[in-house]
Amino acid sequence: MRKTQKLLHKVADLKIFSPFKAVFETIDGIVYGTPHVTPGAPHFLDHIEIKRFMIFAVVALIPTTVASVYFFGVHVLWMILTSYIVGGIVEVSFALIRKREIEEGFLVTGLIFPLILPPTLPLWAVAIGAFFGIMFGKEIFGGTGRNIFNPALVGRLFITMAFPEIMSARWQVPFVDTITSATPLTLFNAEGTLTGLKELLLGVGLQTGAGSMGEVFRIGIIAGGIFLILAKVTDWKIPIFYLGSVAVFSWILNMVNPQVAPPAFQLLSGGLLFGAFFMATDPVTSPYTRSGKVIFGVMAGILTVLIRSFAGYAEGVMFSIILMNGMTPLIDHMIMENKYRKSAL
């Protein structure tokens, strides 16, 4: 055992800190990894566990986070800080009351949540959304691993419904302080104007509001997503089938009815890339069966195109992922049932 770790344990054993045992256990876990050794097969060579797993996801989010600070200024940092503080307080207080270890899910949720918000959202709205998402999206179900819906999306859905005027008229043009109510998607729905693909990809040179903070620097999102897939933290099936189904479905609809945006624009606008790589792949709220992942991706893609083209909202990624989160247990159940019946026959 390393000296620093011994010191940490000594401090943690002090009587004054006994109510905060969970906090120390978490620090211990993040810094030193788990000491547990499996007594029988299967053995894992690397002691990867949920904490390190989550840290990979945070690393993958770094490019798009840095880019959003670069595009929209310091307010972004305050929003991330608010989300972490509020989410952390809820998480830690639940862990202390329920006397169990602090779960690290909020490291990722706390960062993803501000990234899917409009860049000029006031901090109190961020705080309400983070509180609500962690509390009603996660803790009341029993914490990380037991939630049905993605907590960050629950938080965003709540403030979208609670404060519609703030959420729909707060889009900022990158590098400029202009606030507008149009994003590339709303602009297309209203006037049929297509924003250039190069501008969309880099987030530079946009004349309209760009969208949520994290979805603007799309190269960074794609890089982060590929990193997660290569590191085997997420599975490639959900993002690929999600994006593929959006492309195919919008291509068909676009031939029938030109009022539906063409596939390339669909793929590069709105929160689709961010949602596909970072939110739909959440291991807790997406299916664990392989064919289930394919169904999840395809259905989410169809829903996204349908909501974008025919519903009252310009963006459908949030709703489609939340709806599919609700379907996840059903999909897994059907797949397992099917398999067992086949092998029994």
Binding site for another protein (CB under 8 A): 136, 140, 158, 161-166
The single residue listed with the structure tokens 């959006």 is: 246
Closest Cα partner for 185 from 13, 273, 314?
A: 314
State the CB neighbour count (10 A cutoff) for residue 17.
Answer: 12
CA distance 3 to 31: 13
Tokens for 332, please give them: 């897994």
Least Å distance, CB 189 to another protein, is 22
Contacts of 301 (CB under 8 A, 6+ apart): 241, 242, 243, 244, 245, 246, 248, 249, 320
Least Å distance, CB 93 to another protein, is 14
Nearer to another protein, 132 or 241 (CB): 132
Least Å distance, CB 101 to another protein, is 22
CA distance 138 to 150: 8
Nearer to another protein, 140 or 255 (CB): 140
Nearer to another protein, 24 or 319 (CB): 319
Least Å distance, CB 161 to another protein, is 4
Taking the CA of residue 21 as centre, how many other CA atoms within 13 Å lie in the half-sphere pointing to its CB? 10
Contacts of 179 (CB under 8 A, 6+ apart): 120, 169, 170, 171, 172, 209
Least Å distance, CB 164 to another protein, is 6
Query: Sign of the C-alpha dihedral, residues 141, 142, 145, 151?
Result: positive
Least Å distance, CB 170 to another protein, is 12
Least Å distance, CB 107 to another protein, is 26
Contacts of 9 (CB under 8 A, 6+ apart): 24, 28
